[in-house]
Structure 1
Amino acid sequence: MATMESLIGLVNKIQRACTVLGDHGGQGMSLWEALPSVAVVGGQSSGKSSVLESIVGRDFLPRGSGIVTRRPLVLQLHKTQSGAEYAEFLHAPKRRFTDFAAVRKEISDETDRITGKTKQISNIPIHLSIYSPNVVNLTLIDLPGLTKVAVEGQSDSIVEDIENMVRSYVEKPNCIILAITPANQDIATSDAIKLAREVDPSGERTFGVLTKLDLMDKGTNATEVLEGRAYRLQHPWVGIVNRSQADINKNVDMIVARRKEREYFETSPDYGHLASKMGSEYLAKLLSQHLELVIRQRIPSIISMINKTIDELNAELDRIGRPVAADGGAQLYMILELCRAFDRVFKEHLDGGRPGGDRIYGVFDHQLPAALKKLPFDRHLSLKNVQKVVTEADGYQPHLIAPEQGYRRLIDGSITYFKGPAEASVDAVMFLLVLLLV
């Protein structure tokens, strides 16, 4: 039985391979879209970035006003037993980042490389892998935040463009939706929940996350939402307490922030009874376990799609021809195999196994003999010409046996006459074979 680590790791490798080959969704049913994934959805300023950083335990995402996430970020977390934490990008495979401030800058630079220094968006994902003993094995896709109005520097269609991009991910049946909603906002106005309800009306694929619980007005709480009474999902709601802006400015350690989050729920009179199922650490474990479950359920369909794709590619290779090997021995072997294949097909045509053999026979029974009869052999092999050729080749001398040089010239001259009709016969047979194969 495959372990959770190997299952999620295998899907991670397939996702990276798909990206390298240009398959990143939005192109009809593809292998990428058949792979289970967790898409993070939320409006701007919903706390989406803070949730991801809490799950990872590191500050690594660009921050700022407006649309900061302008390309999907495929975040693959790999739990290690020990050692230093580091990150790797698919577009920079030879670089290992141990400074997570450099990771943040690389995400911004790579985004600008595709979109330019504008506020436009692109559906080409960035692949980031983080290796750490402080994470669970999990893959998350961070998507641009849903917005309601275009700001300066954005096209008028930016609101619709972002929604269409997010929808292209979450509407797939293999996508797990992580819907981020601030607790200080009415759940009925949540952009993430609204979109999740449209593509997943039963709530079977949706995990609800409430952020900013500590910022709610005094005297109010979100227990109705967290207990599933305000809006029911198939999976439990999870509350998150992110770092405050002051903590971010002071670079408060993420491990310390996680401890404060646990203390908040454990000591809260409103949420104390839910403390064991709240917080970013619990959310990460919950998502990892569910992702493994979904992968197990989808393994047969994934294998079937991979096998189907392999068969289609092999058929295409057979049609256009296999790649030519680089070394001389392999090239010679390929040439001999092609000659054997040609010989086999040609023989089948002549032996009646394939149609058209009679037309090939006609070239040798009629066309070639007719052409040979027109050759001027009577003139070339006349007594006078033979005497002339022999004399020129061997000189005027008596011969006890046939003069070798003279005969060789007569034979070479005769072969030269044969060359034209023979080549015409070869061309005629090739033309017939092309017609038969087409």
Structure 2
Amino acid sequence: MGSTIKHEETGPLISPSLLQKIDKLREKNIGKHIPLPQLVAVGDQSSGKSSLLESLTGIPFPRNVELCTRYATQITQRRDEETRVDITIIPGVDATPAHKKEVEGYRSNARSMEDLRARFPEILAEVNAKMGIRSDATSKGGTVFSRDVLKVEICGPKEDYLTIIDVPGIFRNPTAGVTTKDDIQMVRDMVQDYIKDSRTIILAVLPSNIDIANQEILTLAEEYDKDGERTLGIMTKPDCVTETTAKNSVCSIVLGKKKQLNLGYYVVRSRGADEEDDEYERREEMFKQAPWNKLPQNRVGVKALKSRLGDLLGHITRRAFPTLRKDVNEMLRLTEEEEDGLGPSRYDQREQQKYLFGIAGQFEHIARASRNGQYADHPIFKENPTLRLITSIVQLNDEFNRDFETMGHLRYFQGTEPKYEIARPVEKAKSPFETVLDRYRRLIEQDDIGEVGNIVSLEYDINKPLTGIMDWIGEVYKDCRGLDLGTFNAGIISSVFKEQSSKWERMVRAYISVVILCIHHFITGVLNVVCVDRLVREELWAAISDEVLERYKAAVEHTKFLVSIERDETPFTLDPAFNERHQTARGSRIAGSLEQSSVGGAIFSADQIRTAVKEKSNVEHSKEEIHDILSSYYDGARRHFVDNVFKQVVRRHLLSGEKTSPLNVFSHGWVFDLTDDQLEAIAGESPTTKEQRMKLRNKIKDLKEAKDILKH
């Protein structure tokens, strides 16, 4: 409670509007989040609590043990020009949506207190039915106690502002066919829930005819109010105390000589179960007799108690109000942070689509930036340089093109053989492209993306070209020679080109495979960043992976198609540079023959040139011609083939093709086409998260309403 409340501390009357705000907060169940200033009457069954409340409020509460209070009741009295009584039900804090709707729909009213007293049994029966309370011991189904709260608001021009909450009385032994041991514990838990809050004044109702040392409610109150600073003792049934020593003992308690409480004790006499509803002053004539007449007048009787309760309620409300705003704002902030910690909401299909749209938008933005080399557009490229996609692919292109140019042919062409051969070490030195390939082999192991293993081919044990091309061409020529007059079969060019390009398919498959691994590493790496929820990421990948893998396969198939066009068809070209290369090769060969027979910088005659040409045999001439044609054609075909592979497979199929690139599978359009079931399967929240989010949303809604109430 903070500072101590003195025995008779009073102050100026509290503003009714301030107390109304507290009641509005209570109606919104804000008390389950923030302690509210309140008076709570607690006591054992048969402690006289119902009679006391009737004396304080005029409401005829049932006294029969089988009809005792089964739920908390909030009685509010406030001054108003119009006389009326409004009865509503506040759903329990854990009420289901269906039950909440059922009880919140209940409304009843009375024109006056007389009307209420006449109709109260009927109203209670309606309330019990709404709450699902079992009507009697013979009834089946329903519950004995409820966490719903019955609210009775009494308005009138003579009413003073007072709000008291009555909770079911504590009992220790179950009644056969009525209550159980579970009910005993439920009531005890309910009482504890109400009295534990620091802004609650505990009105401990204690029958005078039972030794105070045996009053369990005081022991229970001490658990939450160790110093007795917010517990007020109310002694009931003084008329049941007959012995003088017992009366004196009660007086000693009220005078603060026993079991002291900071707020002290009051003694009141309420109407008994068999008494008529007369004015309480008549019943309290006994306080004019000894030994009661020795007690302070402001400590005996219902009127004195009611005045004191009004002062207490005003005091704790006035003292708590400034900190209530702070507490509500702080709890609202913490609750909103907790909801934010759950990530973007994915409660229904609209939110799930919005969530995936956000992820897809980030993915598309990063993919576009990476394809264009705009690495300043997102911090991901600084944090993980391996995701710089176009830079990685340009490096791959350079290394592969270099390897393909120097090692893609089976045999060195004449005049390109190395001048000398360095002795090979035990382990063959790796080419630049093989080094890059090894790096991506390690990446695939780190990323655990082995599902691509059935698509890619990482075999790349490529040897240097062989020597002796002219001898090999001679053998092919002899094996294919027919009846000709110094010429050769055109099919020989097809044969030698196919064998000379026999490494192409394996080399280009490895190249495309590394590009695929590079792209796959990019896709999975970016998804890890833009989709932080592991379960959503796994479901998302499961949804797009088939199409992504199909697009990888399509790129590989198109690569095979390009290889087939180059190697399986009869060599032919419209490239004008082919003829130029061929003539240059022929001229160079003649010049070479002349240079071998010349001395110094001699000038050759026409006869010498003719002699140099016609001294060669038909076989030698054919071998040289086949070599020159093969060399000229191979050079152009290689360049054309490498360009086609990059343009058609890498750039078109794998990087930018709207319908072919794996980078374009996950997009806004893909998300837009998902069905409700697919959205739920991919982005739906788990039942636990949904339940937690709904609770947080309801709490935020309550706290925002509380903030508005406290603001005005």
The match for 1:315 is: 337
Q: Report the structure number with the largest CA radius of gyration.
A: 2
Does the CA contact (< 8 Å) of 1:36 and 1:174 recur in 2? yes
1:290 matched to 2:312? The reply is yes
Secondary structure of 2:296's counterpart equals helix
Provide the rounded CA distance (Å) in 2 between the counterparts of 1:38 and 1:118: 33
- Cα deviation for residue 53 of structure 1 reads 1.6
Q: State the alpha-carbon separation in 2 of the partners of residues 198 and 429 from structure 1.
A: 60
User: After the TM superposition, which residues 150-299 of structure 1 pair with which residues of structure 2 at under 5 Å, given as runs?
Assistant: 150-153=174-177, 154-156=179-181, 158-217=183-242, 219=244, 221=247, 222-248=250-276, 252=277, 256-261=278-283, 263-265=285-287, 267-272=288-293, 274-299=296-321
Contact 1:57 1:135 in 2 (8 A): no
Alignment of 1:137-156 (within 5 A): 137-153=161-177, 154-156=179-181
> C-alpha displacement at 1:88, in angstroms?
2.6
The TM-score normalised by the length of structure 2 is: 0.44
**Corresponding position of 2:664:** 426
Check 1:156–1:321 CA distance in 2 against 1; reply closer, same or farther (3 A cut).
closer
Relative to 1, partners in 2 of residues 1:280 and 1:117: Cα closer, same or farther, differing over 3 Å? farther
Counterpart of 1:362, as a letter, is L
Deviations 1:302-356 (A, max 9, x none): 334322332234335545446999xxxxxxxx99x979x9599858994255223
Q: Give, in whole Å, the separation in 2 of the partners of 1:195 and 1:143.
A: 14
> Could you list the runs of 5+ residues in structure 2 that have no partner in the other structure?
1-11, 91-102, 111-115, 349-353, 398-511, 516-554, 566-651, 669-712
Quick check: 1:146–1:162 contact (8 Å CA) kept in 2? yes
Measured in 2, the distance between the counterparts of 1:62 and 1:351 equals 76
Higher helix fraction: Structure 1 or Structure 2? 2
- Deviation, structure 1 residue 114: 8.0
SS of equivalent residue, structure 1 residue 356: helix
State how far apart, in whole Å, the 2-side matches of 1:142 and 1:160 are: 17
Q: Relative to 1, partners in 2 of residues 1:261 and 1:86: Cα closer, same or farther, differing over 3 Å?
A: farther
Secondary structure, aligned partner of 1:228: coil
310 and 359 in structure 1: CA distance in 2 versus 1, 3 angstrom threshold:
farther
Gap change, CA 1:80 and 1:343, over 3 Å in 2: farther
**Per-residue deviation at 1:106?**
3.4
Counterpart in the other structure of 1:57: 58
How big is each residue's C-alpha offset from its partner over 1:68-111, in whole Å with a ceiling of 9 and x where there is no partner? Answer: 2233x140404022322333323345623214344332343345
CA distance in 2 between counterparts of 1:122 and 1:105 reads: 14
Alignment deviations for residues 248-268 of structure 1 (CA, whole Å, 9 cap, x no partner): 5xxx3xxx5234356554x44
- Residue 36 of structure 1 deviates from its aligned partner by 3.0
Report 1:278-357 matches (<5 A): 278-299=300-321, 301-318=323-340, 319-321=342-344, 350-351=375-376, 354-356=379-381
**1:46 equivalent in structure 2:** 47
Is residue 233–residue 264 contact of structure 2 (8 Å, CA) maintained in 1?
A: yes
Contact 2:89 2:148 in 1 (8 A): no
Q: 2:128 aligned to 108, 120, 138, which one?
A: 108
Show the counterpart of 1:7.
18
Query: Is the Cα–Cα contact under 8 Å of residues 51 and 272 in structure 2 kept in the other structure?
Result: no
Instruction: State whether residues 44 and 147 of structure 1, in contact with CA within 8 Å, keep that contact through their aligned partners in structure 2.
Output: yes
* 1:36 and 2:37 matched: yes
Aligned to 1:62, the other structure's residue is in SS state coil
Residues 220-246 of structure 1, C-alpha deviations (whole Å, 9 max, x = no match): 633222212233211131111111323
Asked whether the 8 Å contact 2:85–2:152 carries over to 1, the reply is: no
1:245 aligned counterpart, secondary structure: coil
Are 2:209 and 2:241, in contact at CA under 8 Å, matched by a contact in 1?
yes
Root-mean-square deviation (CA, aligned residues, Å) is 4.8
Kindly indicate whether the alpha-carbon contact (under 8 Å) linking 1:69 and 1:145 is maintained by their aligned counterparts in 2. Answer: yes
What is residue 79 of structure 2 aligned with on the other side?
Answer: 80
Partner Cα distance (1:233, 1:293) in 2: 18
Amino acid aligned to 1:176:
I
Distance 1:117 1:135 in 2: 41
Deviation at 1:420, TM superposition (A): 4.6
Per-residue deviation, 1:206: 0.8
- 1:259–1:125 CA distance, 2 compared to 1 (3 A): same
SS of structure 1 residue aligned to 2:227: coil
Distance 1:164 1:94, change over 3 A: closer
Name the SS for the 1:40 alignment partner.
strand
Pairwise CA distance, 1:286: 1.8
Name the stretch that deviates more: 88-97 or 172-181.
88-97
Task: Kindly state the Cα deviation for residue 169 of structure 1 after the two structures are TM-superposed.
Answer: 3.0
Greater mean alpha carbon deviation, residues 227-236 or residues 93-102: 93-102
Is the 2:252–2:258 contact (alpha carbons within 8 Å) kept by the matching residues of 1? yes
| 1:210 partner amino acid | M
Q: Distance in 1 between matches of 2:661 and 2:14?
A: 66
Query: Distance in 1 between the 2:62 and 2:336 partners?
Result: 43
SS in 2 for 1:247: coil
Once residues 7 and 276 of structure 1 are traced to their aligned partners in structure 2, the CA distance between those partners, rounded to angstroms, is 26
Q: Secondary structure at the match of 1:246?
A: coil
TM-superposition CA deviations, 1:182-226 (whole Å, max 9, x none): 122222222323333444342211101011122321646332222
Contact 1:39–1:142 (8 Å) recurs in 2: yes
Q: Which amino acid aligns with 1:312?
A: L
Distance 2:365 2:325 in 1: 35
TM superposition shift of 1:125: 3.1
Kept in 1: contact 2:77–2:154 (CA 8 A)? yes
How far apart are the structure 2 equivalents of 1:104 and 1:421? 70
Q: 1:63 to 1:118 in 2, by over 3 A?
A: farther
Query: Does the aligned pair in 2 maintain the 1:212–1:240 contact within 8 Å?
Result: yes
Which residue identity does 2:389 align to in structure 1?
A: G
Of 378, 389, 392, 1:362 maps to 389
Over the matched positions of the two proteins, sequence identity in percent amounts to 20
User: For residues 44 and 119 of structure 1, do their structure 2 counterparts lie closer, same or farther at Cα, with a shift above 3 Å needed?
Assistant: farther
* C-alpha separation in 1, matches of 2:127 and 2:63: 11
Q: What 5-or-longer segments of structure 1 have no aligned partner?
A: 25-30, 326-333, 380-414, 431-438
Q: Is the 8 A contact 1:136 1:285 kept in 2?
A: no
Name the CA shift for 1:103/1:67 in 2 (closer, same or farther; >3 Å): closer
1:126 aligns with 2:127: no
